[in-house]
Amino acid sequence: MTKHSSENQLKTPRTKLKRLSARGSYDRETIYDILDSGFICHIGFVADGQPYVIPTSYARIGDHLYIHGSSAGRMLGNLSRGIDICLTVTHIDALVLARSAFHHSINYRSVVVLGKAEPVTDENDKNTALKAFTEHIIPGRWAETRWPSKLELKATSVLRLPIEEASAKIRTGDPKDDEEDYEMDVWAGVLPLRLIPGEPFPDSRLKEDIAIPQYLLEYKKRGPK
């Protein structure tokens, strides 16, 4: 296992940023804030000589990330063998319009996690992970739903990835134009973007007397804390 300079730092030779290193961060708090603000990660891996990058949902419990899917699926079947993987999460916070086409950019927050995943086989641990998935997406939902049956648990693979080697990369602020371009009569600035929940609408077969849950009415947008 790679040694770290501090328990709270996830910087290693493999995760150290080589380009625009000033945007990098390696502390757990920053990395966890970015992970906890997202729904979807992309997992890169190589199987039988072919590289794949697959989007999937995830959840964090302490210092581990969890992913899940069908026990018959190709991705989880390959990852459960302990191969190297790269997990990434990215948030787009704003479009950055510069005076020159070259310096247009995007304000973003991203995380890269490297490591090997291991299968979660204990039934109680599986249920804990599946609860974490549900609560990560819709806090308060797990208590109302039917929990997975033994057959459903058997058909579901859950993998655990330790967060031991990771980095965050963040861009904020104004465009960075060449000094001579600041005299141009061209609008420049930032257009913020946000993920905002809409109005919930009922399933076509929902009983008429079931009200919209309060946790949906109060659902908050995901974004920077």
Q: In whole angstroms, give the CA distance from residue 192 to residue 42.
A: 24
Alpha helices in the chain (DSSP H): 28-36, 74-79, 123-137, 150-154, 214-217
Question: Please, how many CA atoms are within 13 Å of residue 71, restricted to the half-sphere of its CB?
Answer: 11
- Helix, strand, or coil (residue 68): strand
Kindly list the domain boundaries of the chain, sorted by start residue. Answer: 21-217
Closest CA to 35 of 136, 158, 183: 136
CATH T-level fold of 21-217: Pnp Oxidase; Chain A (2.30.110)
Quote the pLDDT of residue 32.
96
Residue 34 neighbours by CB distance under 10 Å: 23
Both tokens of residue 204?
A: 């076509």
Closest CA to 14 of 170, 171, 164: 164
Digitized pLDDT (tens) for each residue of the chain, 225 residues in all: 333 444 577 877 787 776 767 777 888 999 999 999 999 999 999 999 999 999 999 999 999 999 999 887 889 999 999 999 999 999 999 999 999 999 999 999 999 999 999 999 999 999 999 999 999 999 999 999 999 999 999 999 999 999 999 999 999 999 999 999 999 999 999 999 998 899 999 999 999 999 999 999 999 766 555
- Helix, strand, or coil (residue 125): helix
